[in-house]
Structure 1
Amino acid sequence: MSSPEISSLSWGLMRVKGSTSSYKDCKVWPGGSRAWDWTETGTNHYPGVQPADLEEVLKKGVELLVIGRGMNEALQVPSSTLDFVKQKGVEVRVLQTEKAVAEYNKLAVQGAKVGGVFHSTC
């Protein structure tokens, strides 16, 4: 199963190839995508991305995870969260969202088992 490309990104709106939904924030993995609903885990810009936000994507067999911190990089990613990902044997890259989407798409096109979580505003 391949990771779906992100077909478009603008402030507050993301679209993923193969999905009829559009997302404000999204999670993607080999074979699928869904909205990243921060209320599920109590996530906020600070302290930021929690291990619970990433568990679903990590369980999909990804070898590399890309985290998009927002257009202005307002979303924090604590070192404890990065440690959690690395303990699972998964490489992680944290970037500004436009750069993160470009990196994710480059890897997806190459056939990498890549997953991502992306914040499309601030």
Structure 2
Amino acid sequence: MASPRVEALRWGELRVSGASCVYKDCKVWPGGSRAWDWRETGTDHRPGVQPADLQEVLDAGIETLVIGCGMNQALQISLWRRRFVKDAATGQVEAVALQQQRRAEERGS
């Protein structure tokens, strides 16, 4: 099953195929997407993406995790987080961190 496509991307606005709303931030996985509220896990530009944010998407059975670092690359994705992905997925998932627009292009928008 393929992940929904990012159809449009502007500062603070993501449009994802199949979603009934426009996201400010979102998580996308094969068969679905949802709003990503950073407050749920304590994510902020620093300290960056939290393990619980990654785990939710890993649990969806992905093969590649592409993490957007934001339009200005301000959202930190530490080497420790990439190791977390490798360990949590027993080496079966590749983790890639990209600038937000490049991330959308890589995802096929």
Q: TM-score, normalised by structure 1?
A: 0.83
* Structure showing the higher strand proportion among its residues: 1
Deviations 1:40-80 (A, max 9, x none): 00111001011111111100110000000000000001111
Residue 19 of structure 2: aligned partner: 19
What residue ranges of structure 2 are gaps of 5+ in the alignment?
none
2:101 paired residue among 98, 101, 112: 98
Distance between the aligned counterparts of 1:67 and 1:2, measured in 2? 17
Deviations 1:28-48 (A, max 9, x none): 000000011101001110010
Alpha-carbon RMSD across the aligned residues, in angstroms, is 1.0
Percent identical pairs in the alignment equals 58
Deviation of residue 86 (structure 1)?
Answer: 1.3
Equivalent residue runs for 1:20-99 within 5 Å: 20-87=20-87, 88=89, 89-99=92-102
What residue ranges of structure 1 are gaps of 5+ in the alignment?
107-122
Runs (4+) of structure 1 exceeding 4 A deviation are none
Higher relative contact order (CA 8 A, sep 6+): 1
Q: TM-score, normalised by structure 2?
A: 0.93
Count of aligned pairs between the two proteins: 106
